[in-house]
Amino acid sequence: MSSDALTGSSMNSELTRLTAAELAQKIHSREVSAVEVTQAHLDRIAAVDDRDEGVHAFLHVDASAALSAAALVDESLDAGTAPASPLAGVPLALKDVLTTSDMPTTVGSKILEGWRPPYDATVTARLRAAGIPILGKTNMDEFAMGSSTEYSAYGVTRNPWDLRRIPGGSGGGSAAALAAFEAPLAIGTDTGGSIRQPAAMTGTVGVKPTYGAVSRFGLVACASSLDQAGPCARTVLDTALLHEVIAGHDPMDSTSIDAPVPDVVEAARRGASGDLRGLRVGVVRELSGEGYQPGVRSTFEAALRQLEALGAELVEVSTPHFRYALAAYYLILPSEVSSNLARFDAMRYGLRVENGATSAEEVMALTREAGFGPEVKRRIILGTYALSSGYYDAYYGQAQKVRTLISRDFAAAFEQADVLVSPTAPTTAFPIGDKVDDPLAMYLNDLATIPTNLAGTTAMSVPSGLAPEDGLPTGLQIMAPALGEAVMYRVAAAYEAARDAEDGGPLIQRVPGLEVSA
C-alpha cells in the first residue's frame, strides 16, 4: 500500500498496533524508519496519556531524546551497518526506577522529585547500546511498594481496559503503556510481583528473570535480595527478544550471575510452532483455588485444558511452605527497605526540607516526613522494628528460614514437573480506591507471585483470557527453576499460540479505543 493512501495519523496508529518483532522487521528492511515508529508512539502517548483523564502511564516523556536515538538507528541502517540488535529502532517505556543520565529518575517518590542521575543503569546502557529509543519513564508505586500504582506520588495510572480501574503495580505504568499501545516494549522490576501482576491485569506479558540474570546496577533498590528487572511486551516473542538485550553478567553487580543467557528467543519460536509433548506441568495445589475470583479460576482451568491439549502432562504438586511466604516477605522486604532507603536524607540529592531546622538530624527527619508516602513509611517502620536488637532472630531470622524452606519446596516441585503454573493474581483489576486504605487486602494481590522472589527463581505472566463476570484480563503464571527461562518461554509461547488460535487473535487487540474523542 502506498503511503499516499493513508493519512499520517492512520499510518501511525497502524504502526502502534504492531508487535516489536514486526516493527523491527519493517525498520531493518527500511520499510519504515525508526524515527517514524518512534514518532507514531509519541503521538499515541500524546493522544491517550493525559495525567488527569487518560492512562497516565508516563511520568516523563522525552520526545527529542527518543527521536534522536531513533535517528541514529536510521543513519546506521542507511549506511549499511547491521542493526545493533534484533530490536534496534523499536522504542521502549522504561520504569522510573532505573537510572537514566538524560532523564529524571523519581521512583514515583516526592523525595527524588526532579533528581537527574549522573549515570545510566546497566539496563539503560544495554538498551541504548541495542539501539532501542527510550520514550520516557513510566509510573509506579513509590519505591515499587504497592500493587496498584495508587501509591505513586505523581498520581495513579489507569488501566486501558477500564480507566476507572488500577493497572496493577508497582509497574502499572509499564504494563499500561503496552496495553494502551503507547509502547511495544517496556521494562519493569519485580520484587514480589511488580512485573507479573500488572501484566495479568492489563493482558500483557511480563517476565521476572532468575535473580541475578539482569543487572541491578542503577535499579533504585526496594529490597536488594528480591528486586529483579525484567522484560515486558504484548507477546511472548517480543518479551524474549527484550530479555536477551538486557540479561547477562555485569561486573558492577556482585549478585549478577556469570553464566550464559538462556536462548529464550529460540525457545519462544520453538514453543510457538510446536507442542508440549513430554513436558510435565505442575499445578501448585496451594495456589490453585482458594480465594480466587470465579473468572480467574475459570480462565486458569481453561488454560490447564489448553496445556493438556498441547500434549503437556499435568501433575499436582504441593508446596506446603508457600503459606508462610507472604509473612516472610513482609519481614524481609521491609527490613531491607528500612536500610536501603536510609540514604534519602537530603544531604546530597533530592528533596530538602529545612523549615527552620537547626541540625542535620532535624533536616533529615523533616525531609523524610515530607518526602515519603504512607506505604513507604509503613514499611520503613516495620523493617526498623524487625531488625532491632532483641527482635532480629524472631523476625528477620525466622523469615530467612522460611525462605530456605520455600526454596526447598520449589526444588522438590521441580523434581516432579518442568514448570509450575498458577493464576498470576487472585482477582482482575480492581477499581481505583478500592484497596488503598486496606494494606492487607493489597498485600494479598501478590500471594502467588512472592514465592518466586523469595526463592530467586524465574516466573512470568501470560494473558489467559477475560474473566466472564467483568470482561477483564487474567494471567497465567508459569514458574521455572533458576536459569530455567528457556523452558518457561517455550511453554508460554505454545500456550499463547494455542489461545490466540482459539480466540481468533491476540487478546490485547480487544482493548477499547482510548483516544479522547475530538
Partner 1 sequence: MSAPASTPGLVDYDEVVERFDPVLGIEVHVELNTNTKMFCGCPTDFGAEPNTQVCPVCLGLPGALPVVNRAAVESAIRIGLALNCSIAPWGRFARKNYFYPDMPKNFQTSQYDEPIAVNGWLDVELDDGEVVRVEIERAHMEEDTGKSLHVGGATGRIHGAEYSLLDYNRAGVPLIEIVTKMIPGTRERAPEVARAYVTALRDLLRSLGVSDVRMDQGSMRADVNLSLSPRDSGVLGTRTETKNVNSLRSVERAVRYEMTRQAGVLLDGGPVVQETRHFEEASGTTRPGRRKETAEDYRYFPEPDLVPIAPSQEWVEELRGTLPELPWERRKRVKAEWDLSDEELRDLVNAGALDLIAATVAEGAPSGEARSWWVSYLAQQANTRGVELAALPISPADVARVIELVASGELTNKLARQVVDGVLAGEGAPDDVVKARGLAVVSDDGALITAVDEALAGQPDVAQKIRDGKVQAAGAIVGAVMKATKGQADAKRVRELVLERVNA
CB within 8 Å of 188: residues ≥ 6 apart? 95, 171, 174, 175, 194, 195, 198, 206, 229, 230, 231, 232
Phi, psi of 284 (to 5 degrees): -75, 115
- Per CB under 8 A, contacts with partner 1 among 182-221 are 216-221
Measured distance CA(438)–CA(417) in Å, rounded: 36
Binding characters for partner 1, 54-93, by CB under 8 A (x = yes): ----------------------------------------
376 counts as binding partner 1 under rule CB under 8 A = no
Question: Count residues contacting partner 1 (CB under 8 A)?
Answer: 44
- State the nearest-atom distance from the C-beta of 342 to partner 1, in Å: 4
**For partner 1, which stretch binds (CB under 8 A), given 79-87, 131-139, 222-230, 409-417?**
222-230
Nearer to partner 1 by C-beta: 338 or 461? 338
Q: Would you say 140 or 507 has its CB closer to partner 1? A: 140
Return the C-alpha cell found at 310.
Answer: 498441547
Q: What cell numbers appear for 176 in the block?
A: 499500561
DSSP 213: S
Say whether 273 is catalytic.
no
CB of 97 vs partner 1, minimal distance in Å: 8
The Cα angle at residue 386 between residues 382 and 391, in degrees rounded to 5: 145
Question: Which of these is catalytic: 13, 148, 194, 256?
Answer: 194
Amino acid type, 469? E
Find the binder of partner 1 among 53, 75, 392, 401 (CB under 8 A).
Answer: 392
Active site residue 194: yes
Residue 92, number of CB atoms within 10 A of its CB: 30
φ/ψ region of 319 (left if φ > 0, alpha if ψ in -120 to 50, else beta) reads: beta
Handedness of CA 220, 116, 171, 145 (dihedral sign): positive
- Determine which one of 95, 110, 137, 435 is catalytic: 95
Which residue shows C-alpha cell 499501545? Answer: 181
Of residues 301-360, those binding partner 1 (CB under 8 A) = 335-336, 338-339, 342-345, 347-349, 360
- Are 203 and 463 a contacting pair, CB within 8 Å? yes
Task: For cell 484497596, name the residue.
Answer: 435
Catalytic one of 85, 152, 170, 464: 170
Name the residue nearer to partner 1 (CB basis): 216 or 269. 216
Residue 292 CB, shortest distance to partner 1, in Å, is: 32
Buried b (16+ CB within 10 A) or exposed e, 332-343: bbbbbbbbbbee
Q: Establish how many alpha carbons lie within 13 A of residue 54's alpha carbon, considering only the half-sphere containing its beta carbon.
A: 22
**92 to 131: interface string for partner 1, x by CB under 8 A:** ------xx-----x-x----x--x-xxx-x----------
Question: Minimum CB separation from partner 1 for residue 159, in Å?
Answer: 28
- Which of 277, 348 has the CB closer to partner 1? 348
Distance between CA 440 and CA 183 in Å, rounded? Answer: 33
Minimum CB separation from partner 1 for residue 120, in Å? Answer: 10
C-alpha cell at 476: 497465567
Site for partner 1, residues 445 to 504, rule: CB under 8 A: none
Annotated catalytic residues are 95, 170, 194
Q: Which residues bind partner 1 (CB under 8 A)?
A: 98-99, 105, 107, 112, 115, 117-119, 121, 216-221, 223-225, 251-255, 335-336, 338-339, 342-345, 347-349, 360-361, 364, 384, 387-389, 392, 396
